[in-house]
Every structure is written in C-alpha cells, then in structure tokens.
A and B are shown apart, each in its own frame.
Chain A
Amino acid sequence: MRSLLVVEDEPAVARGLKDAFEFRGFTVTVAVDGDAALDTARDGRFDAIILDIMLPKRSGFEVMETLRAEGDTTPTIMLTARGEEEDRVRGLMAGADDYVLKPFSITELVARVQANLRRRDMDRAPPVELEFDNVAVDLNRQVVTRDGAPEDLPSLETELLKYLIRHQDRVVSRKELLETVWEYPSADGVETRTVDNYVVRLRQKVEPDPENPRVVLTVRGKGYRFGWERR
C-alpha cells in the first residue's frame, strides 16, 4: 500500500484529499502547516507528497526546498491556488515533480500521483543481473549462481532484495518491509522476526561471505540497508 502525505491547511480540502486517496488505496497522513509538514516528512516514510504552497508558518516552497536539501527524493506534487507562471517555475525549481492548480479534478490528481510513483519506481528499478564477487544474481530468472553453481532464489527473497536495492539511499525498517514486500495492510503488532528470518535466508543465497554481510546490512534498531560496494 502506497503512503501519501497531504500538506493542506484548508480543512475541507484536506479532508476531501484524504478521503479520495484513501478510497484509492493510499495510506494518507495530513499536515496542516509547513512545520508539521517537515516534521512528518522527516519522521515518516511516504511514497508521495501533495504539498500546498500557501501554508501557515512555512510556505510550501520552503518545505520543498528543505526536503530536497536534506536528500529527500519523495515524489512531490505541489497543489496550489497560485497559478502564475512564476509560482509554477519556482515550485518546480524547488524540487517538485509536478504542479497542479486549484481547483482540480480529483481523478486527475490521483492519476498524476500514480504516474509519478510509477516513474519513480522505474527510475529505481534494480538491474536485471547483479554480481557480488563470486555470486551472480539474475533477478528476472530468480537464479543465484555461486562459484558457477546455479540455485533458485525464491520470490519473496527476490522482492526483498529488489526493494532494498530500490531504496538503497536510506535505511528500510522492518515495518516498512512488511507493509510493502509482504503487503501487510498494517504492520502494527506483527512479529518482525519474520523479516529477519528472510534476510538471513537471502544472505545465505547472495552474500559472498554470509558470515560477514556486505550486500544486506543491518542497521541496529532501525532496519536494513542495501550496502554492496565493489572492493
């Protein structure tokens, strides 16, 4: 399930966006001012952000610039009643991926969000064939070849590896993995040892030296990170 952060100070608009995107299968979080938007975006994990420009405390432009400066590459669609060319350019230059003018068609907005997510997914798609020293991985065929000996890579481990590679710029929590790879509607209360067990299996398959992992790294207390670097 995709997660979405809606930053909008108008209660009626925020409520409509939340309902519409949730209806379309998103998990929606709402922030009502610029500061709250930054705090929420930093803490949470969102696949996309819908960001109003005119916000109390901190403008949408400023929020966008700050997030991009901090390395956040979450697809962001600016949503505003300001339709001047100057504003559109400024928003895009600040790092927005798209710009939608109020009043908008909610179906079009949902479509634009999904389009941006697809584009991001494609950008982050891992290569088909990987090589970790003496281990070669073919993600399409789901085959791992260690020292010339081929071996099947199960689907869940394959998806786990793909997700970690796709988000190799950050640490991925176990909860996130459960919600995305395992597609649990809500990972709250789910035993995260499941993730750990699958990570162990994955390491057995793809790590050149499973005792000293270099492909899937554990970040204590937070989750896992794809960490392969050729020596």
Chain B
Amino acid sequence: MISRSGTGGPGRLVLIFALSVLLPSLSLAALAWRSVEKERRALLAERRSGLQRAAILIRRELIGSVEKMRAEEEERPYYQYEPFFFDANSVGFGLNYVKSPISDTPPSPLIEGYFQLNPIGEVQSPNDPLGAIQSANEPLAQSSEGGVSVEGERAAPGDGPAQSGPHDEEQPEQPHIASEQEDTSRTPARDDRAAQQRDRQIVAQSGRTRRAKENFERNFLPQIKREQQVLPRNGKGQFLGISDRNREQRVSKKSVVANLDARTNAGQMLEGQIVRIADDDANQEEEIDVVASPFLLKSAPDGGVLAYRYVDIPNLNGAFGIKSPFLRFVQGFTLDTAYVTGPLFTDIRARYLDVPGGRAALVPENATPPSGEIVLEESLPPLPGYRLIVTDDDPTWVANRVREQAALFAVVAGGLLLVITAGLVFSIRTVRAELGLARRKSDFVSAVTHELRTPLTGIKMYADMLKEGWVRDEATRSEYVGFMAEETDRLARLVNRVLDFARTEQGNRPVSSMDLEEPIRDVERDFGPFIDEKGFALEVDLRDRRKVLADPDAVKQILLNLLENAVKYARDAEDRRITLSTRADGAHTVLSVADHGPGVPEGERQRIFSDFYRTGEELTRETTGAGIGLALVKRLAEGIGGAVEIRENQGGGAVFRVLLRTA
C-alpha cells in the first residue's frame, strides 16, 4: 500500500491548514471584532448625540413658544385684564362696566385663564363665565392666613349692590364693584348682545375656565394675596372709570412716555413702561401714568404655572380732580400646562425626536422621572416646576444592532471560512491527486525500467557466461539457454502489456453480440501452460451465460491480465485453484476470475484500477509489474460498455467481476 503522502504528511497539512485557514480566520475575526466595536461606539455616540440634539431642539422650541406667548402678553394693555368699574362713591358719573376684550377667548392656547386682583383683594377673572367680579369678603390678612376659598364667597350673578355686604359696611370707602345690572348706561340692544355673548361664553369656556379658576384659587390666590398684602392699600383710593367710548379713543392715543424701573414690595425688579393715556373727551380729559411689570412666572407646589405682573398707577386723578393714592393691580393668567405638556409638547417632540427608543417627557419637579436611562435632564425657565427629561428607553438598541452586525459578520466570515476551507481542501486534494499521479507515473517508469532490466540482466548474464565458457557442463549450458528463453518471454510479455496499455485509449470500442466461450477457450489454451507451470489449476465454468455485447479481443486481454494478476498475487496460496466462470445476471453477464490469494483490502479496491497504481512500497515490493494490468482491464471493460469490480472470495482471496451487457 502506498503510504507516502503527497503533501508531506499530516504535520505539514496541519501547518498548511493553520496558515491558510486559521490565520486568515483569526485575522478576519480580529478585523470584524474591531469593526463591530467601532460600529458600536459610533452607534452609541450617534444615539446619544441624537437624543441630546432632540432635547436641545425640543427645549428651544418649547421655551420659544412660551416666551413668544409671554412677549405677546407683555404688549397687552393692563386695562384689557380688568372689567373697568366706577367707584360707587363716584357720584354722578354712573357706573360703567366695560368687559375686557380678552375675556371671551384667550388669544393663545397656552393661556388657560386670566385673572386680576385689585387692591382691595377682589379677584377679577375676566374669563369667569359669568363675567362677574369675585369679591374677597374676608380681609386680606385673613385670606393670607387661612387660604380662603374664593369659590364660596363669589357673588351671585346679578347680585349687584348686594355684593358690598358686610365688607362694604366695614369698609364703606371701598370701591363698589359694579355688575352688569348696575350698568345703567347700557342700551337694551347692547344688553341683549352681552347676554348672548355671555351665554356662548358659558357654553364654550365653562370647563376650561372653571379649571383655571380653581387652579388659580387653589394654588396662587393665597400667595398673591400675601404679596399684595404689603402693597400700600388705600381704602379710599378711587379709580376713575373710563367709558367704553372714551377708552377706545384713549387707546388710540396712548403713548409710552418713559421706561420705568420699579420694584415690587417683595423686592422684585419691575421693568415696565409708563403709559400715558389721553382722554380726548373734552369733559373727561385727563392723563394717567401706568407702570406694568413684565410677567413673572411662578409654579405651584401641586402643579400649574402662573404668569402675573404688577400694574401700578401712581397719581391717579380721582373724581373732581382729586389725586388718588398709588394704586396697584396684580393681573395675569394661568398657563394651560395641560396644553403645554400635552398637545404642544407632543407636537414638538414628534418633530424633533426621531431616535428609536428615545423618549422625551415634561415632568413636574416632584414627580417620579420616567423609566429608562436618563440622557438629559434640564429645567425649563418658562415652565417653572417642570423638567425636560430625555431618556433612552431601549438601552439595548445599540447592543442589538451590534449583535445583528456581528451575526452578519459571523455569517459572512463563516461563509468565507467555508469557502476558503473548501477551496483549500479542493486544492490539497487536487495537488495530492496530481502528485499521486506524478508519483505513480514515476513509479511506473521505475517499475517498467526494473521489469525490463531484470530479464535483460538474466539474458545478458547467461549470454556472457556462455560466451566466456563459465559453464561446468552441458546440462548447465542447456539450463542457461532455458533461463534465457524464459527471460525473453517475460520481457516480451512486459513489452506487449506496456504497448497494449499505451495503445488502449480510454473510450468506447466497437462491440457486437458474441458468445464468451470462444475467447475464454482461447485464453485457456494460450495461458493454461503458464498457469500450470506456476503450479495453479485453472477451473472454467461457462454453464450460466448468455450472449453479450463485447469485443472478443478486449475480453481476451481482460482475462489474460486478470489471470496473470491471480497467478502473481496468489503465488503463496495453499489453494492453487483459479476459477474462471460466467453467470447471467439480468441485463448483465458476469465474467469472474477468482483466486485464493491474500485478497485486496477494502480501502484499495477502487485504487487498484488506477493507472500505474501498485500496492506496497516500491523498494520492498514482493511482486513484479508496472501497475498497468488492472488499469488496462478497467479501460477495456468500460470501453465495451461494461464495468469491473472486486469482491472478497468466500474462503479467502479475491474475485474480479467483469460486468458485460447481455445482448
């Protein structure tokens, strides 16, 4: 059996495999890992920056919206916040009540409801569906201490003068708060319109306004009252009402006369404007200065945001030209936080937050932050009490993407590895096959050389001995001549076989229907003596046969080679029988040559039909030959449409079966 490896043994194969597959694989894995790690860092950075960018944009947009609304409100004249009234003591002028134009519908969805708190502690909410003025029946001091609920103290609509009540008695100089019923200057048509308007207002704003009012009363009123408490309250202060007609005129002529820096009593800086309003009415012409602070924002402990400002009217001319004391209002509105944190925020968030798994929320200060990994948390100046929190709700997003990419890399690398391995295996097999063939060819040349030289050596040697007279006697001389003849036959057989092999091309040969008996008998006749000489007995059994499609010369060559092979390899067998038989088997007729030699190992049964293949090591081979006999048998069998196979002979030995097509 040939044991030499064409690639130098398993050690070198392992080395080649390591160099060709493992090293590239490890390099590939390292590159893939580096790439994946780089991708992971990039994805993480991109995700974080995306969330932070979205947070900045959301914050900016949100602040911008609120600031814009606040700026617009800054421009709103103070008197639009209040339902103007005349002091009850302002005799002779009637009690005009003018409803604020913004009392119907807040101009911004951010604004939930307006309010005004006058110096005497009365809360005026223009958005009150009833349009009434709320009276704080209790003194301000009590309000600040007890958190007075204004709800239950509100004057019923149409109560009119009854609103004064005990409060009026204790403080008769308090300005009387007028109601519509007291507005005697109104025409009936105008009353109807006002009533209709009021009804619509009730329907449209009842829920929202009530909520705003409740929020204001609950969260801010006590606080504002506390601040207002320190205002210079002048119970005798009078406020000169301005008629509807005149007001319109005055508005058209108002002018900013100076900027004013002032401070609230709480020390808060007020940057306001002095607005001079000229009354064109010849009879009522007068000027007042109004100082309005910017809106201040304040959050309530349990929610809600209040925007409020101070409005100061120093040197107010009272009735009959009497200067009234300094007058201060607190007016403003509550922010519709439900809207800000709801639809507005949702809209902004939808526009900027496009990172999958990212979440932005407006969360009250004392509320639990949302779950998830917090990426950014910031307060919002226009929304005191609220934080903008951006979270990463899917921290595994990057890991999942990286895992997907790693899986992709693994699949690609695996495929590549598979291809490399397959290519390598294919290459190695090809190289080994080529090396094997080259080696077999080399062995063939060597074997043929040996097979040719050996009989030639005998012939030449005996010829030399005869020529030199190195012969003891005549019997020996005859013996030498016999040796020379044998060696010559041997040489001739070898030459003929090599020539047959060289002439026999692979491919189909012309076939005809024939009986196997004739070529078998020819072989028996020609080769029988040689078999006998070698001490074998040839048994022929042709009883089970049919006509086959074959070439008689091919069949004879096949048999000669198989019989010579049997003689060669069964030379040491005890059972010296060689059986040549036929058997009809369906579409085939099997021509068998069986011997009782050592047989052929399972692993070599295919290879022994290869060109130039010989079992065993060349240098220690115990049989002669060039490795072409069985290859020739295979070529011939296939050339006539048949096949050859080898099986184990029962009782030991080998059976060569040639399958021929039955005619």
Contacts and interface: CB of A to CB of B under 8 A. Distances in A.
B470 A104 contact: no
Given A19-B465, A57-B620, A58-B620, A103 B459 contact: yes
Interface in B126-182: none
A102 B456 contact: yes
A23 to B, nearest CB: 4
Interface residues of A, number: 32
A23 B622 contact: no
Contacts of B465: 16, 19-20, 23, 106
B281 interface: no
B457 A13 contact: yes
B450 A103 contact: no
A119 B402 CA distance: 84
Nearest to B476: A19
A53 B453 CA distance: 13
A81 B449 contact: yes
Interface in A9-34: 9-10, 12-13, 15-17, 19-20, 23-24, 34
A82 B617 CA distance: 15
Contacts of A54: 450, 618-621
A44 interface: no
A168 B636 CA distance: 64
A89 B579 CA distance: 46
Main secondary structure, interface of B, reads helix
Contacts, number: 88
A35 to B, nearest CB: 10
Nearest to A21: B470
A163 interface: no
Contacts of B619: 53-55, 59-61
Interface in A100-140: 101-107
Given A16-B465, A19-B476, A23-B472, A103 B460 contact: yes
B458 A13 contact: yes
B483 interface: yes
Given A15-B483, A103-B456, A20 B621 contact: no
B486 interface: yes
Given A82-B446, A83-B449, A102-B456, A55 B462 contact: no
A172 B620 CA distance: 34
A184 to B, nearest CB: 22
A104 B620 contact: no
Contacts of A84: 446
Interface string B439-472: 0000000100110111111111110110010111
Interface string A40-67: 0000000000000111111111000000
Contacts of B455: 12
Nearest to B487: A12
Interface residues of B, number: 31
Nearest to B624: A10
Given A16-B483, A81-B450, A55 B620 contact: yes
Nearest to B470: A23
A56 B458 contact: no
Given A16-B483, A56-B622, A102 B470 contact: no
A13 B460 CA distance: 10
Nearest to A24: B470
Which of A24, A55, A81 has most B Cβ within 10 Å?
A81
Contacts of A83: 449
Interface in B555-571: none
Given A16-B483, A83-B449, A107-B464, A56 B457 contact: no
Contacts of B464: 105-107
Contacts of A61: 619
Contacts of A34: 620
Nearest to A58: B620
Contacts of A60: 619
B650 to A, nearest CB: 29
Which of A13, A15, A102 has most B Cβ within 10 Å?
A102
B320 to A, nearest CB: 143
Contact of B468 (A15, A59, A107): A107
B460 A104 contact: yes
B111 to A, nearest CB: 107
Given A19-B470, A34-B620, A102-B453, A10 B458 contact: yes
Nearest to B458: A12
A56 B461 contact: no
Nearest to A15: B483
A151 to B, nearest CB: 47
Contacts of B468: 106-107
A81 to B, nearest CB: 4
B615 to A, nearest CB: 13
Contacts of B472: 19, 23
Which of B468, B470, B480 has most A Cβ within 10 Å?
B470
A19 B483 CA distance: 13
A113 B446 CA distance: 26
Contacts of A17: 461
A41 to B, nearest CB: 17
B463 to A, nearest CB: 9
Contacts of A59: 617, 619-620
B572 to A, nearest CB: 11
A23 B450 CA distance: 27
Given A12-B486, A19-B470, A81 B454 contact: yes
Nearest to B617: A59
Interface in B464-511: 464-465, 468, 470-472, 476, 480, 483, 486-487
A80 B458 CA distance: 12
Contact of A81 (B457, B470, B486, B622): B457
Nearest to B622: A56
Nearest to B469: A23
B468 to A, nearest CB: 6
Nearest to A105: B464
B470 A103 contact: no
A105 B458 contact: no
B620 A106 contact: no
A13 B620 contact: no
Contacts of B487: 12
Given A19-B476, A83-B449, A102 B457 contact: yes
Contacts of B621: 54, 56
A16 B458 contact: yes
A11 to B, nearest CB: 9
B461 A13 contact: yes
B454 A10 contact: yes
B482 to A, nearest CB: 10
A102 B620 contact: no
Which of B468, B476, B486 has most A Cβ within 10 Å?
B468
Contacts of A55: 619-620
B473 to A, nearest CB: 11
A58 to B, nearest CB: 6
B453 A103 contact: yes
Contacts of B446: 82, 84
Contacts of A20: 461, 465, 470
Which of A9, A15, A34, A54 has most B Cβ within 10 Å?
A54
Contacts of A15: 483
A106 to B, nearest CB: 4
11 contacts: A12-B458, A19-B470, A19-B476, A23-B472, A58-B620, A59-B619, A59-B620, A81-B454, A83-B449, A103-B460, A106-B465
Given A57-B620, A82-B449, 11 more contacts: A10-B454, A12-B483, A16-B461, A16-B483, A53-B619, A54-B619, A61-B619, A102-B453, A102-B454, A104-B461, A106-B461
Closest 8 CB pairs of A and B: A81-B453, A59-B619, A103-B457, A56-B622, A102-B457, A81-B450, A103-B460, A12-B458
